Structure 1
Amino acid sequence: MIADMVEQEDELLALHSIFGSEEFVRDESKSAGEIRVSVELPADFTVVLKEGETLRQYEISFLPPLLLTFELPEDYPSSSPPSFTLTCSWLTHTQLTALGAQLTDLYQATGGAVVLFSWVQFLKEDALRFLDIHTLLELPSDEQSTQYYSQDSLNAALSEPNNNQHTPKSEPSDNQSCNVSDPSTSDWTSTDLQGAVALDSCKANQKNSPFDHSKVQLDQSGQGAASLPIHPRESPQNEDQTLSGLSLTPSQTLLSQLLIYDAAQNRKAFATTVFDCGVCFMGWLGSVCVQLPECGHIFCQTCLAQFCKLQITEGNVQGVICPQADCTATPTPAQVKSLVGEELFSRYDRLLLQNTLDCMPDVTYCPRRSCGSAVIQEKSSTAAMCSVCGFAFCVTCRKTYHGADDCQGKQNTNKLTEKDSQQARIDLPQSQEGIQALLDDYARGSKQRQQLLESRYGRKILQVTVEECLSEDWMAFNSKNCPHCFCRIQKDGGCNMMMCSRCRQRFCWACLTRLPTKRAGTHFVDSPCSIYQYHPT
């Protein structure tokens, strides 16, 4: 007896040193505890749920752990195996019973040696293969449960006990009993203290208990499928409240729990892995990195934040994309907000909306300075009404709607053109340099000089026509239209491979040919266009 107690204490100390506090919890009041065993999944492991003709399947990397709760008898390990319960959310009662039988067989094979670590290794490495689960886990569908309970009667009671049982080969058989008053809180209990599998689950909110065990929900064949194991220091109430507002079937609830757990574990694994930033090429822990969901490229938060802040500050919201070359993936709005802060994100959100509206041909803006809201205009009419301030206006002249009459602004422009065009043609310089010189002379001259020029050319000609002429000439000489969205673009340096800041279309500045996203440089190989165009001074 003393030798057994020594071996028990040594085994518990060894488990405490091998496993962390998240995996192993010991009950100090007795030789008992619980171990959470995460099974090893192969690559491309898939969870499948069939609902009638609908097939839902997801690739996952992590499954919730099996919960092995044990208590060591006084004559363990020399004579008796541990008394234990085995709980899992994604295995049926039959599968858990088979695993429990195998655990008992492993103890029998040791010939009276300690066995807990061997049990953990078996559950971790060989449990799936033992159950003939390789790369596909099919969850039980809800249609199979109609013989036990339906969605309309979730509180129905099962009075007949389930006759599933498992007993060590050398011990007499003890039947397991199933007392279910509510499928959402049902408990599978075994009275076999000789090492039989016990699908036992205490109330998750039970007070003064060192361990909180997971609940067991009946699957459609009447077999037990436990929900996610809850850590002793956590309360399952929040999780229940999260799903309480959703109309989910038991199988859908189980699938959502598996996906939530897998996502949480993936985030945890990402945070503890070292990645090379695609900008600074330094290694960083995933906890200070950002991975773009569209392309999967990873950058440190500092580099990606500086890149996004620069683009937003300059107003190039279309440039808030993946910094990787030839990658057009965009970060999510939540990622942008966490990187640049509330103030810059508000500017990003506003400019992004503005840019989107500018690309829509049927969108105009309210002419009121105090409003300026976007207005959808109908192609068949020149009238529009702002939905924010209620102002009705003409989309042509931007003034109060005047019905079928001609626009007043257009009439004034025509009168000005007809009245003053003859005088403008007589004396206005014919070159851009001459017009620019005339405008400079008028702007910098004294009052007497300005009056002299106004008497010669006309005040409206100098203030309106000359400036418009210069602006149009400058734009025609210094800019070109994007071949895709026809936005005016100025080239102030660099090579002839251009990218429109509005529609992200690549094109050749020399011939305005649209270029593909990949291998765009091949256009300049066998063509008269040169990638660089030098202007000798």
Structure 2
Amino acid sequence: MANSERQADEILALQSIFDRTFRLTNENQYEILIEFDLCTSFTIQLDNKISTVQYLPPLSLIINYHDEYPSDHPPSFILSCFYFSKIDLEKLSQKIDNFWFIRGEVCVYDWIELIKQEITNQFIIRTKEVFRNRLQSCSICIDIIPGIDCIRLHRCGQFYCRTCLNHYIRMTLENGKFGENLLCPQDHCKQVLLPTEIKQTIQNEKLYERYERLTLQHGLESMKDIVRCPR
């Protein structure tokens, strides 16, 4: 198949996928506005006013086709986004340049997925850095402590100081609860703690091994097709 035919097929596919965020400039150039979900909202302060940000405008990706795409070389591109620094955009562009290109295969959709993943990762890293560097209030003891001394639960976003969460987990395990019963300490929260959060908090290999053993035992007992050997 000729390059021009592959390019036309890719344009049709991208138009179908991105619809209203796809804009064809000419037969060799188009723009896609890449939207992405924030992993969590964050706050900004401007003129002594604090606002919560839950959505950010999309990033613009302009693709320029040439005669050697996709048979020999990837297309050229331009990234633009007003709230990303020039350095951040250059780093992202470099990742795209280094992305594995297979001759004869179109690549723009894979680029878009890469961009989404990289942006999401950056927001996760920056959100964690902000959290760790700020003072936080533990939801159990209400003490004000540095974020670096807190553990933020992945599934619900609640956070607690390590001492309180450690005490809660130990008491819960000693009372025979495990696995699906180990919930967030918040009264009305029904989210289950992740095994990694439990291990990170208690930092006790023997206690964590007991947790794993009881969880496995509970799982086996709940499986109706498993029969215990009488021997």
Q: TM-score interval w.r.t. the shorter chain?
A: 0.5 to 0.7
SS at match of 1:259: helix
Query: 332, 355, 358: which is aligned to 2:218?
Result: 355
- Whether the 8 Å CA contact 2:36–2:58 is kept in 1: the answer is no
Q: Are residues 1:339 and 2:201 paired?
A: yes
Going from structure 1 to structure 2, the CA distance change for 1:54 and 1:358 (only over 3 Å counts) comes to farther
Query: 58, 61, 71: which is aligned to 1:140?
Result: 61
1:252-291 equivalences in 2 (<5 Å): 252-291=113-152
Amino acid at match of 1:360: M
Amino acid at match of 1:301: R
How far the C-alpha of 1:357 sits from its partner, in A, is 2.3
- Provide, for residues 124-152 of structure 1, a one-character-per-residue CA deviation record: whole Å limited to 9, x for no partner: x9xxxxxxxx94214437xx444466455
Instruction: Give the TM-score taking structure 2 as reference length.
Output: 0.60
Question: For the residues of structure 1 that align with 2:68 and 2:39, how far apart are their CA atoms?
Answer: 32
- Provide, for residues 353-406 of structure 1, a one-character-per-residue CA deviation record: whole Å limited to 9, x for no partner: 2212222222222334xxxxxxxxxxxxxxxxxxxxxxxxxxxxxxxxxxxxxx
- Provide, for residues 264-299 of structure 1, a one-character-per-residue CA deviation record: whole Å limited to 9, x for no partner: 111111111222111111112211111222222211
How far the C-alpha of 1:51 sits from its partner, in A, is 4.3
Going from structure 1 to structure 2, the CA distance change for 1:358 and 1:259 (only over 3 Å counts) comes to same
SS at match of 1:363: coil
1:114-125 equivalences in 2 (<5 Å): none
- Provide, for residues 311-347 of structure 1, a one-character-per-residue CA deviation record: whole Å limited to 9, x for no partner: 2233311442111113221222211111123332222
How far the C-alpha of 1:255 sits from its partner, in A, is 2.3
Question: For the residues of structure 2 that align with 1:321 and 1:154, how far apart are their CA atoms?
Answer: 52
Amino acid at match of 1:337: K
Amino acid at match of 1:312: L
Q: Are residues 1:251 and 2:112 paired?
A: yes
Question: For the residues of structure 2 that align with 1:52 and 1:313, how far apart are their CA atoms?
Answer: 57
Question: For the residues of structure 2 that align with 1:350 and 1:149, how far apart are their CA atoms?
Answer: 59
Amino acid at match of 1:136: P
Question: For the residues of structure 1 that align with 2:72 and 2:90, how far apart are their CA atoms?
Answer: 26
Query: 322, 330, 348: which is aligned to 2:184?
Result: 322
- Provide, for residues 73-110 of structure 1, a one-character-per-residue CA deviation record: whole Å limited to 9, x for no partner: xxxxxxxxxxxxxxxxxxxxxxxxxxxxxxxxxxxxxx
Question: For the residues of structure 2 that align with 1:278 and 1:332, how far apart are their CA atoms?
Answer: 18
Query: 356, 366, 371: which is aligned to 2:229?
Result: 366
How far the C-alpha of 1:303 sits from its partner, in A, is 0.7
Going from structure 1 to structure 2, the CA distance change for 1:288 and 1:149 (only over 3 Å counts) comes to farther
- Whether the 8 Å CA contact 1:357–1:363 is kept in 2: the answer is yes
- Whether the 8 Å CA contact 1:292–1:329 is kept in 2: the answer is no
Q: Are residues 1:302 and 2:163 paired?
A: yes
- Whether the 8 Å CA contact 2:39–2:120 is kept in 1: the answer is no
Question: For the residues of structure 2 that align with 1:324 and 1:138, how far apart are their CA atoms?
Answer: 37
Question: For the residues of structure 2 that align with 1:352 and 1:257, how far apart are their CA atoms?
Answer: 35
- Whether the 8 Å CA contact 1:308–1:340 is kept in 2: the answer is yes
Going from structure 1 to structure 2, the CA distance change for 1:153 and 1:278 (only over 3 Å counts) comes to same
Question: For the residues of structure 1 that align with 2:14 and 2:195, how far apart are their CA atoms?
Answer: 34
How far the C-alpha of 1:300 sits from its partner, in A, is 0.7
State which structure, 1 or 2, has the greater radius of gyration over its C-alpha atoms: 1
Instruction: Give the TM-score taking structure 1 as reference length.
Output: 0.28
The residue number in structure 2 matching 1:60 is: 38
Going from structure 1 to structure 2, the CA distance change for 1:284 and 1:339 (only over 3 Å counts) comes to same
- Provide, for residues 168-219 of structure 1, a one-character-per-residue CA deviation record: whole Å limited to 9, x for no partner: xxxxxxxxxxxxxxx7xxxxxxxxxxxxxxxxxxxxxxxxxxxxxxxxxx32
Amino acid at match of 2:190: T
- Provide, for residues 475-507 of structure 1, a one-character-per-residue CA deviation record: whole Å limited to 9, x for no partner: xxxxxxxxxxxxxxxxxxxxxxxxxxxxxxxxx
Higher relative contact order (CA 8 A, sep 6+): 2
Amino acid at match of 1:315: G
- Whether the 8 Å CA contact 1:60–1:259 is kept in 2: the answer is yes
1:170-249 equivalences in 2 (<5 Å): 218-219=76-77, 223=78, 228-229=89-90, 249=110
- Whether the 8 Å CA contact 1:139–1:251 is kept in 2: the answer is no
- Whether the 8 Å CA contact 2:60–2:79 is kept in 1: the answer is no
Question: For the residues of structure 2 that align with 1:153 and 1:328, how far apart are their CA atoms?
Answer: 54
- Whether the 8 Å CA contact 1:322–1:328 is kept in 2: the answer is yes
Which ranges in structure 2 are unaligned for 5 or more consecutive residues? 1-12, 19-33, 41-45, 47-54, 81-85, 101-106
Question: For the residues of structure 2 that align with 1:339 and 1:256, how far apart are their CA atoms?
Answer: 28
Question: For the residues of structure 2 that align with 1:336 and 1:53, how far apart are their CA atoms?
Answer: 44
Which ranges in structure 1 are unaligned for 5 or more consecutive residues? 1-49, 63-124, 126-133, 156-182, 184-217, 231-235, 369-537
Going from structure 1 to structure 2, the CA distance change for 1:243 and 1:306 (only over 3 Å counts) comes to farther
Amino acid at match of 2:175: E
Going from structure 1 to structure 2, the CA distance change for 1:224 and 1:336 (only over 3 Å counts) comes to closer
- Provide, for residues 492-536 of structure 1, a one-character-per-residue CA deviation record: whole Å limited to 9, x for no partner: xxxxxxxxxxxxxxxxxxxxxxxxxxxxxxxxxxxxxxxxxxxxx
Question: For the residues of structure 2 that align with 1:363 and 1:290, how far apart are their CA atoms?
Answer: 37
